[in-house]
Amino acid sequence: MVGERIKSLRTEKNLSQESLAKKIQSNQKQISKWELNKIEPNIDALSRLADYFEVSVDYLIGRADY
């Protein structure tokens, strides 16, 4: 669920994985692993993602629909 939401938000903004990584102080490999659901972002990364995309952490983890 987390990976799909990250990918969807990223593609809505027409961002590459690399450009998103730069915006949230991460790296492209991490973004790829998150989107493929190989690993989940830690709470700090979830917070940065939520702030950047202006959504809640609950949305990213699938606990809310908005």
> 28-35 and 2-12 helices cross at what angle (nearest 10)?
120
The DSSP secondary-structure symbol of 57 reads H
The region that residue 15 occupies, defined by phi over 0 for left and psi between -120 and 50 for alpha, beta otherwise, is beta
Please state, in angstroms and rounded to a whole number, the distance separating the CA atoms of residues 2 and 8. Answer: 10
Position 65 pLDDT exceeds 90: no
CATH superfamily, domain 2-60, is lambda repressor-like DNA-binding domains (1.10.260.40)
Please state, in angstroms and rounded to a whole number, the distance separating the CA atoms of residues 28 and 19. Answer: 8
What's the pLDDT at 37?
A: 96
Domain range annotation of the chain: 2-60
pLDDT tens-digit series, residues 15-52: 999 999 999 999 999 999 999 999 999 999 999 999 99
Q: How much is the pTM?
A: 0.93
